[in-house]
Amino acid sequence: MHEFTFFKKSIISWFAQNKRDLPWRDTNNAYYIWISEIILQQTRVNQGINYYYRFIDQFPDVVSLANANIDEVMKCWQGLGYYSRARNLHAGAMQIVNNFGGKMPNSYAELIKIKGIGRYTAAAIASIAFAERVPAIDGNVFRVLSRLFADSTCIDDDNGYTHFYKIAQSMMVDCSPSDFNQALMEFGALVCLPRNPDCAGCPIMSVCMAFQTNQMLSFPVKKQKKAPTSRFFNYFIFQYKQSFFLRKRDNEDIWKGLYEFPMSETKELLTVEKKYFEKIINEYVGDIQWNIKKHSDAVKHQLTHRTVVATFYHIELSALPNELSEYICIPKSQFHQYPVPKVIERYMEKEFDFKD
């Protein structure tokens, strides 16, 4: 128990002296904390700050987010990745308007019912905005606690979550829940780093079991990860006069809610020499004459568990094909109004001639 107290005091006092000056730290506005926590789930702080400012500027409160068109929300999120976060924020805001009169719920038990708010986010909002005594367990917290006790409980299942949650909860007495949670997270983000922990400057090294036994990098313990697999996306930029075709991805797959060109996914890299290339294009455009203006090299885009290998074919059409009626036909000049995956945005910025 003595070590618990030493750890808690040390870490909270370290936080008071070393915490980064971040915009969502100056507030107990639960909506701002919600937005920042969702942005930071999969995004580095430096990149996330600009998106955070842009998001709360465009959608300053729950009601404005709920009333926004989903395309506006996706456009604001474009480039951040993990787009289900933006869709869920929008759906969550609508739920808060419908069920809570547009006011952020003020307890963990209510917050966890909101779409897209999981255990960690509910605990972060409840503790920071409403001082509820509930531990927020993220990757940083798992790392610090597992090293502190040289605890080899596997962290990526429910058992591991409950185990470390109980440890954190038992420490979280006689202190501010907001400071305790934020101190642990910040300490993991700045000192107890995954590959290069700053043990020499660490205020808790005297009680850290992993340091004492020189096993810092053995913790936390995770299950073996599968190697990422590849998916091959062939994009066809069909151009008729000054327009081309887009559709919204609406199936349960990556990039749901973003727009894309007609696309064919193949098991391997498609080359223009292969016979089925013509077949694929003809399926899209029927009997209409077409001509390949340009085709790109394969562009790799890394996701967490997948590599998307994208190839772009810019194809001119002699007429409007009926087969593309499920796509929207937009003037090239309006392309920038549509939220698209980063791999498409990058290609269009670098390689596509909008004047042509």
When the beta carbons of 220 and 262 are compared against ligand SF4, the nearer one is 220
Q: Which one of 74, 172, 210, 324 is in contact with ligand SF4 (CB under 6 A)?
A: 210
> What distance in Å separates the CA atoms of residue 159 and residue 140, rounded to the nearest whole number?
18
Selected from 33, 208, 237, 343, the binder of ligand SF4 by CB under 6 A is 208
For residue 3, indicate whether it is catalytic.
no
Work out which of 24, 34, 211, 313 binds ligand SF4, going by CB under 6 A.
211
Q: Is 117 in the site for ligand SF4 (CB under 6 A)?
A: no
Q: What angle do CA 207, 21, 54 make, to 5 degrees?
A: 130
**Of residues 192, 285, 308, 344, which one binds ligand SF4 by CB under 6 A?**
192
Between CA 123 and CA 189 the distance in angstroms is 18
**Of the ranges 27-35, 49-57, 207-215, 278-286, which one interacts with ligand SF4 (CB under 6 A)?**
207-215
Which member of 114, 134, 145, 191 binds ligand SF4 (CB under 6 A)?
191
Rounded CA separation 198/205 (Å) = 10
Antiparallel, parallel or unpaired: β 290-295 and 263-266: unpaired
Which tokens hold the place of 191? Answer: 């000192």
Shortest CA distance to 296 belongs to which of 347, 245, 256, 229? 347
Contacting ligand SF4 within 130-169 (CB under 6 A): 144, 147-148
Q: What does residue 293 show for φ and ψ, rounded to 5 degrees?
A: -85, -35
Window contacting ligand SF4 (CB under 6 A); options: 3-11, 151-159, 200-208, 348-356: 200-208
Is 126 a binding residue for ligand SF4 by CB under 6 A? The answer is no
**Sign of the alpha-carbon torsion through 154, 157, 158, 161:** positive
Cα–Cα distance measured from residue 288 to residue 319, given in angstroms and rounded to the nearest whole number: 6
8 near ligand SF4, rule: CB under 6 A: no
Residue count, binding to ligand SF4 (CB under 6 A): 15
Distances (CA, A) of 216 to 7, 8, 183, 240, 325: 17, 20, 20, 60, 58
Could you tell me the smallest distance in angstroms from the CB atom of residue 221 to ligand SF4? 14
**18/242 with CB nearer ligand SF4:** 18
Shortest distance, position 180 Cβ to ligand SF4, whole Å: 16
Taking CB under 6 A as the criterion, the residue among 12, 49, 112, 205 binding ligand SF4 is 205
* 88: Cα separation from own chain's centroid: 11
Alpha-carbon distance of 287 to 140, in angstroms, equals 57
Cβ atoms < 10 Å from Cβ of 40: 22
Our finding on whether 327 is near ligand SF4 (CB under 6 A) is: no
Our CB check for ligand SF4 shows the closer of 112 and 207 to be 207
Report the catalytic residues: 37
- Which chain residues interact with ligand SF4 by CB under 6 A? 144, 147-148, 191-192, 197-199, 202, 204-205, 208, 210-211, 216
